[in-house]
Amino acid sequence: MCTACSSGTGSSADGGTSPAAATTSAAAASTGALPGEEALTPPPPDPAEAGHVAGLAAVPDGAFSGSLRLRLSGLTSYEEKVAGSCAGMGTRPVLAVHLADGTRLAITFAGGRATSRLQAPGIDEQLLLDGVHTTVTGSAVAVTADLLAAGTSERVGDLALDGRCA
């Protein structure tokens, strides 16, 4: 009986390897990679990055107020009203917010891929944004994205930030 065959991994109760796991192992052996190693490969630059930067250029620098939903697998989850700043919106946009517990989140659009940095006591986590969607209407901005562990393609959470820069 296979314990996790539907996901492509796992082993059978009699100690054998499931067909899916054997196929994954064989494919990895033929390429010289380890199973799961593809998650350790950094994602390519985001082809939409220039469009995000161009869209955000219409947003004024200044104070930010809005809401944040942030989920990090196995670490934390936030959903609250936030305040912060919009800086460098015309060249290298940075949306930075402070949460009620003092945690700071900064989202930066530069270098071919948006990144986020979460800082709190004992935590300084750099993450890559993937599947980014930005919406700009006047001074209103909304950003949604999946979060990847820095330097990898491993999804570790998601975020949604929306509000106004003034």
Domain hosting residue 10, numbered range:
5-35
Do both 132 and 89 map to the same domain?
yes
Strand partners for 115: 108, 128
Phi and psi dihedrals of 116, rounded to 5? -130, 150
Same domain assignment for residues 30 and 111:
no
What does the pLDDT read at residue 46? 85
Same domain, 9 and 77: no
Domain count, the chain: 2
Task: Let me know: does 12 contact 22? Beta carbons within 8 Å.
Answer: no
Task: Answer yes or no: is 100 within a domain.
Answer: yes
**Pair (80, 57) in one structural domain:** yes
The answer to whether residue 143 sits within a structural domain is yes
Asked whether 27 and 37 are in contact (CB, 8 A), the reply is no
pLDDT at 35: 53
Distance from C-alpha of 89 to C-alpha of 123, rounded to nearest angstrom: 27
CB of 71 within 8 A of CB of 77?
Answer: yes
In this prediction, residue 38 carries a pLDDT of 60
User: What pLDDT is recorded for position 27?
Assistant: 41
For residues 7 and 117, the answer to whether their CB atoms sit within 8 Å is: no
In the prediction, which pLDDT does 42 show?
78
Q: Is the pTM of this model over 0.85?
A: no
Residue 112 shares a structural domain with residue 143: yes
The pLDDT assigned to 76 comes to: 79
Query: Would you say 132 and 48 are in contact if contact means Cβ atoms under 8 Å apart?
Result: yes
CB 112 within 8 A of CB 128: no
- The DSSP code for 152 is S
Query: Which stretches of the chain score pLDDT less than 70?
Result: 1-39
Query: Within this chain, do residues 109 and 30 fall inside the same structural domain, yes or no?
Result: no
Say if residue 79 is in the same domain as residue 137. Answer: yes
